[in-house]
Amino acid sequence: MKLVIAIIQPDKLEKVKDELYKEQINLITVSEVLGHGRQMGVTEIYRGAKETGNLLRKIRLEIGVNDNFLEPTIKAIIKGAKTQETGDGKIFVLDLNECVRIRTEERGSVAIG
């Protein structure tokens, strides 16, 4: 099992969700975050609010998947989020030790989907 964490541009969320749904990846957690990578001082439109300095608004996705779903997940995120411009974001993949579905107390790869 893997945990995929992706940081993407806010306006790409809808497209990424569409691509994930096409691959039958329906279980995702979404949050709004601030951050920056290589952009650093790059002033693009998301710097609208002065208080946040050079931290830019991003969307963070968390998706737990079984190993055979890992590549489709990564490809779907890239397909939805890639513009080839600085600021497209990152995908992190972590090993996932355990997963428990609270309702049924199922564990492991049956619990993840």
Selected range binding another protein among 26-34, 64-72, 87-95, 96-104, rule: CB under 8 A: 26-34
**Residue 72 per-residue DSSP state:** H
| Partners of 30 in the β-ladder | 61
Distance CA(101)–CA(83), nearest Å, equals 36
Distance CA(17)–CA(13), nearest Å, equals 6
Chain mean position to CA 32: 11
**CB-nearer residue toward another protein: 36 or 99:** 36
Residue 14 is a binding residue for another protein (CB under 8 A): yes
Contact pattern for another protein over residues 45 through 74, marking x by CB under 8 A: xx-xx-xx--x-x-----------------
Which amino acid type is present at position 85? E
Interface with another protein in residues 28-47 (CB under 8 A): 32-34, 45-46
Give the residues lining the site for another protein (CB under 8 A).
10-11, 14, 17-18, 32-34, 45-46, 48-49, 51-52, 55, 57
